Structure 1
Amino acid sequence: MNKRVMKAAVAAVAVGGFLLGTAGTASAAIDKDGRLESGEFGLYYNSGLGGCVFDVAADNNFADDYFKGGSCSGNGQTTNDNTASYWNRSVFTQYVFTDWYKEGIQGSLPSGYSGDASSNFKNKISSTSIIAR
């Protein structure tokens, strides 16, 4: 009788762990999918949070990243040196840099901040991080 109870308990724990694991991934934000979700940082192709968005947590080099979003302005354009506005939906301060690998001019955007890029950063952002260099 004890073996049956133990097997049932192990099976219940395994099923419960599986259900918890899959429920967490279904609602988690997935960066670089063209949808800015809670917990992500979004860079927009146009000013005023317009056009396609590049959604990311952090990335040292935008050279191989592209704006996504279907029929929006900028779809398929490289993100590198091509960002006009941004929205920080993460809980961390987001740092942007004008060169790859956190080099060049550094700017910081607090959690919840959204707006147009200043003249120092408009169409010049090449990398981002949640930790300053």
Structure 2
Amino acid sequence: MNKRMMKAAVAAVAVGGFLMGTAGTASAAYDKDGKLESGEFGLYYNSGRLGCVFDVAADNNFADDYFKAPSGSCNGKGQTTNDNTASYWNRAISTQYVFTDWYKEGIQGSLPAGYYGDASSNFKNEISSTSLIGR
């Protein structure tokens, strides 16, 4: 009976390791690489979805996040995302919530799936966090 239990435990560890390995590839779309891909939410440095982009699923605090260029350079490259966003595009399949303060504080705005545009006066250069869940 001990050998059977040991084989089952080894099999469970192997399956768990496989699942953990594949989970990493499933979240690869959210790697903040400066490429706005399907399923991501993008914040742009300039109005009109111009300049560098910060691509994200959700983030409670933009203080340590920066605009990136997938290749070459663009306006805003290396600038902090915190309080520095002029437009956005929600390429996710659900509503994205933005907040003017860290950790879902301040003014809350909601952007439905597929929505893009320039930030309103309440949000332009004021967005500090984002979430898939509102307050």
Common fold: TM-score over 0.5: yes
Shift of 1:123: 0.2
- The residue correspondences of 1:2-13 to structure 2 (distance < 5 A) are none
Consecutive unaligned residues in structure 1, runs of 5 or more: 1-13
CA contact (8 A) 2:30 2:57 kept: no
User: Rg larger in 1 or in 2?
Assistant: 1
1:98 aligns to what? 100
Distance 2:26 2:60 in 1: 27
**1:62 pairs with 2:58:** no
**Structure 2 unaligned blocks of 5 or more:** 1-14
For these two proteins, the number of residue pairs brought into alignment is 117
> Does the 8 Å contact 2:104/2:130 carry over to 1?
yes
Q: What residue identity is the alignment partner of 2:30?
A: I
Distance 1:26 1:103 in 2: 29
Aligned residue for 2:63, secondary structure, equals helix
**Compared CA separation, residues 132 and 25, structure 1 to 2 (3 A):** same
Q: Secondary structure at the match of 1:29?
A: helix
| Equivalent residues in 2 for 1:1-133, closer than 5 Å | 21=22, 25=25, 28-69=28-69, 70-133=72-135
Instruction: Please state how far the C-alpha of 1:25 moved relative to its aligned partner.
Output: 2.5
Q: Given the superposition, is the C-alpha separation of residues 27 and 97 from structure 1 closer, same or farther in structure 2, using an over 3 Å criterion?
A: closer
Q: CA deviation at 1:116?
A: 0.2
Q: Are residues 73 and 101 of structure 1, via their aligned partners in 2, closer, same or farther at CA, if it must alter by over 3 Å?
A: same
Q: Are residues 27 and 120 of structure 1, via their aligned partners in 2, closer, same or farther at CA, if it must alter by over 3 Å?
A: closer
CA RMSD, 1 decimal: 2.2
| Aligned-partner residue type, residue 96 of structure 2 | Q
Post-superposition offset of 1:27: 9.5
CA distance in 2 between counterparts of 1:27 and 1:67 reads 20
Residue type matched to 1:68 in 2? K
Whole-Å Cα distance in 1 between the matches of residues 27 and 121 of structure 2?
36
Q: For 1:107 and 1:83, how far apart are their aligned partners in 2?
A: 14
TM-score (norm: length of structure 2): 0.79
**Percent identity (aligned):** 83
